Amino acid sequence: MHTRKRILVTGGAGFLGSHLCDRLVGEGHDVICADNFFTGSKDNIVHLLDNPHFELMRHDVTFPLYVEVDEIYNLACPASPVHYQYDPVQTTKTSVHGAINMLGLAKRTKAKIFQASTSEVYGDPIVHPQPESYNGNVNPIGPRSCYDEGKRCAETLFFDYKRQHNLNIRVVRIFNTYGPRMHPNDGRVVSNFIMQALRDQPITIYGDGQQTRSFCYVDDLIDGFLRMMAAPDSVTGPVNLGNPHEFTIKQLAETVIQLTGASSELISAPLPADDPLQRQPDIGLAKTHLNWEPSIQLEAGLVKTIAYFRNLVAG
């Protein structure tokens, strides 16, 4: 029998959060979306606003929240380096105070709570691909630290709340994910390259373009979120979620040019400090515990994403 749950999604007006709200409402749940609109937008969830099973709250997770819920997905946090470095102190507060507030809420309501952690907890990894057992290589005082260390501390809090207060927790480490509703000026590589190509502007490759990333399409990722939440309580994570197919940034640029038919040239720009050289998830745990692996490969996902951005540029 299907039971309607009351589910809180923090950061629900953002890229990933809005897709998650769609899926949860679609599955017949009551969803509360809490967002301070720092990087998210009402446009991402406007189609849900008339649905009586969807509720939007303007709320900053660094402040306590009192609602009655069965499950919490904690996604609130800017994810693009440009945005999380804009106000680094607020980024750390969002991860750490946000986690404390949401864990407190979970403790009071006895809700199951999910944390959107990140591959950034591995920093510039020396072990490749990265399994969950790898403790990472993170610079604690660099420009990316507010995000990386904030997310690491949030993981610590999740596991301490589990040990100390017996909370039912789920932690996933998300690797680079892309798709419709990424902010066009978000600064992340997929949205940057597509926007540049659609405008026939030069494609900005930071460094020599030989650094690698592994790109997961948003629908695959959200499927992994739901499987993680539905898994037996012993599956706390952390579990890596991402697409293990690894590409150089130069290969990504060439694919975007080919799929858009752009006449853009590739230009070189300085490599940001602490930019990881390589990144690829080991998804063995997700396969074993969640029976999950991505099904949408880069070209197919890029075609859908390009169509979204084309509409945005035209509109």
Residue pair 261/255 in contact (Cβ under 8 Å)? The answer is no
What are the contacts of 226-235 at 24+ separation with CB within 8 A? 226/23, 226/27, 227/290, 227/291, 227/292, 228/114, 228/170, 228/172, 228/290, 229/71, 229/73, 229/112, 229/114, 229/170, 231/170, 231/289, 231/290, 233/168, 235/170, 235/289, 235/290
Output 154 or 203, the one with its CB closest to ligand NAD: 154
Looking at residues 225 to 254 of the shown chain, list those that interact with ligand UDP (rule: CB under 6 A).
249
User: Contact between 276 and ligand NAD (CB under 6 A)?
Assistant: no
Output 104 or 142, the one with its CB closest to ligand UDP: 142
Tokens at 202, concatenated:
């030069």
User: Contact between 176 and ligand NAD (CB under 6 A)?
Assistant: yes
- Say which amino acid occupies 86: Y
Q: Which of 247, 272, 278, 284 binds ligand UDP (CB under 6 A)?
A: 272
Binding span for ligand UDP by CB under 6 A among 86-94, 96-104, 218-226, 270-278: 270-278
The residues carrying an active-site annotation are 147
User: Contact between 301 and ligand UDP (CB under 6 A)?
Assistant: no
Looking at residues 181 to 200 of the shown chain, list those that interact with ligand UDP (rule: CB under 6 A).
188-189, 192
Looking at residues 119 to 178 of the shown chain, list those that interact with ligand UDP (rule: CB under 6 A).
176
Spatial distance between the Cα atoms of 86 and 297, rounded to a whole number of angstroms: 32
| Beta carbon of residue 238, minimum distance to ligand NAD (angstroms, whole number) | 12
Largest CA distance in the chain: 58
Site string for ligand NAD, 36-75 (x = CB under 6 A): xxxxx-------------------xxx------------x
Q: Which does 206 bind (CB under 5 to 8 A by kind): ligand NAD, ligand UDP, none?
A: ligand UDP
User: Contact between 252 and ligand NAD (CB under 6 A)?
Assistant: no
Spatial distance between the Cα atoms of 30 and 229, rounded to a whole number of angstroms: 16
Output 203 or 239, the one with its CB closest to ligand UDP: 203
Q: Which of 170, 173, 213, 227 binds ligand UDP (CB under 6 A)?
A: 213
| Beta carbon of residue 126, minimum distance to ligand UDP (angstroms, whole number) | 17
Spatial distance between the Cα atoms of 147 and 175, rounded to a whole number of angstroms: 14
Query: Please, which residues have CB within 8 angstroms of residue 171's CB and are 6 or more apart in sequence?
Result: 114, 115, 117, 155, 158, 159, 236, 237, 238, 239
User: Contact between 81 and ligand UDP (CB under 6 A)?
Assistant: yes
Q: Rounded to an integer, what is the distance from CA 153 to the centroid of its chain?
A: 17
| Beta carbon of residue 87, minimum distance to ligand NAD (angstroms, whole number) | 10
